[in-house]
Structure 1
């Protein structure tokens, strides 16, 4: 004998299924809103940090294009509440910094800050400091601005087989000649770029000991420590390398205020 089921016996199951679907859709909507809110918060933080970085660069008497700031780590909002950020990168372009009456140009300065501390109140009000445990920077100094610091008109610098190459006019025993050669490049104890021209030659140089001695003296006269401008974020230069596009500078710092404007 077949059992009798209520005419609407399947409705409770349908209602339950509809309820589960509704909850699932609601969760998706809430999750989507949270993702949107998270990305909006990232944008706000990046703009605030970029503004503060621009202020810090200006305080040091330098100029640069508007910083490009990226904040990493997800979800971002948990970092906001904690006041700590995993990683922030700051890309500066067309940096121009004064040094001894001249202007040193860095076509690019890329900064990578790790474990950055910035309270929610700092981001909200714009008051207070944004501090990074470690900051690493890489930049490229144009050869033209570096050559200008040598105070030798007509001298040009460039890269040749991984070394710093130089060419320029010289007057040896009353004869106008063009010198060429390479230099060793290191970081001096005072943070300046040490240029040591140990291998110079000149076409047409008289084959005389005196001429060779004068050429060696010329090499010594341009073998100097070239001061670099004060880099943003208290970065200290650790390494310099000649590249085709310019002199590559590597710098770092610890416990650094990304901004000091209060």
Structure 2
């Protein structure tokens, strides 16, 4: 009986040691992976990676991870000759294959959500244009135009849509003209615009856009999504 108790204690200790070693390995892997995430043509402010599933060591031995959550913050890329900054990109990766000696990672399936703040969207718009939340799934766009040498400012409620899974289109529902010839055309040249959302991992396609108080929230899915290597 005593021998069985000793073996039982030993198994508990070994199990605890295995869990501890496994968790340390996860921490080290996450830290190393955060330094390796790259998206061509972009600059990433910070990266946070969480590897899910247990045990991690057996997943690592098979070069495939069940679940990986990634948050990228402050992604900067060029769009329409201007810098478009993505505030956050949250991605849930599934069945992630490690490649190139663990320097690369490709997810068979992925879902992701991008948030672009109105401040950053304003910077990506035309000069003299301000973009804000307009409520009820709309954005408010304010622009100033010159009519016969006189500056005229107009604010419009605009609908935001996605084109080709990569481009944000902002289009005013209605422009107050007040009988001034050509005013609507001038205002739309300022307030209506399209900007490509670059800086996304290859394989991730945007599918749905939603204006919120915090910014434009854009979600999408993808297959064969590459985040590193």
Residue 41 of structure 2 is aligned to residue 41 of structure 1: no
Equivalence for 2:7:
23
Distance in 2 of aligned mates of 1:69 and 1:103 = 25
Of structures 1 and 2, the larger Rg is shown by: 1
Instruction: Map 1:176-195 to 2 at 5 A.
Output: 176-189=151-164, 191-195=166-170
Taking structure 2 as the reference length, the TM-score comes to 0.88
Deviation by residue 1:58-106 (Cα, 9 ceiling, x = unmatched): xx23222331100001122222223222110111112222224321112
Displacement, 1:171? 2.9
Change beyond 3 A, Cα 1:42–1:190: closer
Equivalence for 1:216:
184
Instruction: Map 1:89-238 to 2 at 5 A.
Output: 89-118=69-98, 122-123=101-102, 126=103, 129-153=104-128, 155-161=129-135, 162-189=137-164, 191-201=166-176, 207-208=178-179, 211=180, 213-221=181-189, 222-238=191-207
Deviation by residue 1:9-33 (Cα, 9 ceiling, x = unmatched): xxxxxxxx32122111111111111
Change beyond 3 A, Cα 1:196–1:92: same
The answer as to whether partners of 1:137 and 1:250 remain within 8 angstroms in 2 is: yes
Q: Which runs of 5+ in 2 are unaligned?
A: none
Distance in 2 of aligned mates of 1:97 and 1:251 = 19
Whichever structure has more helix as a proportion of its residues is 1
SS at match of 2:43: coil
Query: Alpha carbon RMSD of aligned pairs, Å?
Result: 2.2
Displacement, 1:238? 1.6
Equivalence for 1:3:
none
Change beyond 3 A, Cα 1:134–1:219: farther
Distance in 1 of aligned mates of 2:207 and 2:96 = 22
Taking structure 1 as the reference length, the TM-score comes to 0.78
Distance in 2 of aligned mates of 1:235 and 1:51 = 21
Distance in 2 of aligned mates of 1:100 and 1:31 = 56
Distance in 2 of aligned mates of 1:102 and 1:135 = 28
Displacement, 1:244? 1.4
Equivalence for 1:239:
208
Distance in 2 of aligned mates of 1:156 and 1:88 = 37
Displacement, 1:219? 4.1
Deviation by residue 1:30-69 (Cα, 9 ceiling, x = unmatched): 111110111122122212322221xx23xx2322233110
Match of 2:61 among 81, 84, 87: 81
Distance in 1 of aligned mates of 2:219 and 2:183 = 32
Q: Which runs of 5+ in 1 are unaligned?
A: 1-16
